Amino acid sequence: MPFDILRARADTVGCTHVLHFNNAGAALVPRVVMNAMIAHLELEERIGSYEAAVQSHDALEHLYDAAATLLSCHRDEVSFVESSSRAWNMAFLSMSLRCGDRILTSMAEYASNYITLMQAARKTGAIVEVIDNDEYGQISLRALRNAIDERVKLIAITHVPTNGGLVNPVIEVGQVAREVGALYLVDACQSVGQMPVDVQAMNCDILSTAGRKYLRGPRGTGLLYVRRSILEQLEPPLLDVQAAPWVATDRFVLRPDARRFESWETSYAGKIGLGVAIDYALAWGIEATWARVSALADDLRAQLRYFPGITMRDLGVTRCGIVTFTVDGKDPREICRLLARQRINVWNSEISLTRLDMEARGMTDLIRASVHYYNTHEEIEQFCSALATVLGITRFGGVAMRLDTVSSGSSAARERLE
């Protein structure tokens, strides 16, 4: 079935205001999500917030069913948290690590994860080892297998990094994790909502993601999946009345389900909004979304390839909706600023977010243009024109060339330049 792009855009107020290629930062929230959140906030205003929660009980609980469908897990394995980093940290810090335990991770790791790994290494004496990339820039399965021994307690990798189109081979890594009996934690912050993510197929024990990115949910929301069979092994570092009911004066019990990672107080409107966002994503179809996002990103990459001075920076065999590049001699932040003036949203991805990868590739900043299904080929064209203008480049039939490379003697060429 063809994608009903007009409806997708009509459902998205932001589409009439901006050209939004910052979906990897936060995607545009669809109107249905806003409506559900506003309705709940107004209910809180009208009848009181606790009372509103009682009345919205089903909508609040629905989040767990929606997330379970999305990730192919059980509702008891889902925890609602405020961010992807918090999800990742909560699960990771619940593991009991000992001196000499080995943790294997990837070059693509996100800062918050790696910072917490370094902290854990310092506190516990666990050893963090970064597995090299293969010749395509994805985590090397050969290097991973070579690194495996019985001291490996955890394999923690990032599915899609914040700074590029790379899609790490999470299913193959999961097979290795299963063979050696290590826990497997996947940061799926950029992949959930963009492409099929199935925790069973991945053999994944723990998965973290954000609501605001490809799921198009509200800010301040995130999901943590923890496999039922390992829940009992994981004691969260922070407990409250939600996570661990106080059942006798000298005793609390940890909740048996993944809500042991939650806090009692949270954004109820956000929780409802995220549930609606997941329903909405499922209604479009994740496979259809992935096909469209990939096609749009391929189109954008194909156009940018012709720009003189631009170097495409996406790694991997399969490339997703995150398109990254640098421009010779130009500051990415300045380019983002100039495009922002024309209401074109792209973002600068800086070294401090993915330092392992950026240092290895000798980069400090790159420009990230990340597309979603509601973007269009026309927007890609518009973006390329605006970028060409900003860079002082002209384009003939989609082919870019620098102004000063066009022969000054050719009046025909000059005319087409003007």
Residues that bind ligand PLP (CB under 6 A): 83-85, 110, 112, 158, 161-162, 187, 189-190, 210, 222
CA dihedral 163, 172, 320, 273 (to 10 degrees): -80
> What is the Cα–Cα distance from 118 to 192, expressed in whole angstroms?
26
Contact 304, 245 (CB under 8 A): no
The smaller minimum CB distance to ligand PLP, of residues 25 and 308, is found at: 25
- Shortest reach from residue 157's CB to ligand PLP, in Å: 10
The smaller minimum CB distance to ligand PLP, of residues 108 and 391, is found at: 108
The smaller minimum CB distance to ligand PLP, of residues 158 and 267, is found at: 158
The smaller minimum CB distance to ligand PLP, of residues 307 and 347, is found at: 347
- Shortest reach from residue 200's CB to ligand PLP, in Å: 21
The smaller minimum CB distance to ligand PLP, of residues 93 and 390, is found at: 93
Element (H, E) at 135: none
> What is the Cα–Cα distance from 225 to 112, expressed in whole angstroms?
18
Q: Is 16 exposed, middle or buried (0-12, 13-18, 19+ CB in 10 A)?
A: exposed
Sign of the Cα torsion 309, 314, 317, 321 reads: negative
The smaller minimum CB distance to ligand PLP, of residues 192 and 272, is found at: 192
- Shortest reach from residue 385's CB to ligand PLP, in Å: 28
> What is the Cα–Cα distance from 165 to 138, expressed in whole angstroms?
11
φ, ψ (nearest 5 deg) of residue 67: -65, -35
- Shortest reach from residue 256's CB to ligand PLP, in Å: 26
- Shortest reach from residue 213's CB to ligand PLP, in Å: 6
The smaller minimum CB distance to ligand PLP, of residues 218 and 332, is found at: 218
> What is the Cα–Cα distance from 357 to 203, expressed in whole angstroms?
25
Instruction: State the residue for tokens 């939600």.
Output: 242
- Shortest reach from residue 115's CB to ligand PLP, in Å: 11
- Shortest reach from residue 318's CB to ligand PLP, in Å: 16
Contact 243, 252 (CB under 8 A): no
- Shortest reach from residue 38's CB to ligand PLP, in Å: 22
Contact 194, 322 (CB under 8 A): no
> What is the Cα–Cα distance from 223 to 262, expressed in whole angstroms?
10
Q: Is 399 exposed, middle or buried (0-12, 13-18, 19+ CB in 10 A)?
A: exposed
> What is the Cα–Cα distance from 59 to 305, expressed in whole angstroms?
46
The smaller minimum CB distance to ligand PLP, of residues 371 and 384, is found at: 371
Contact 72, 281 (CB under 8 A): no
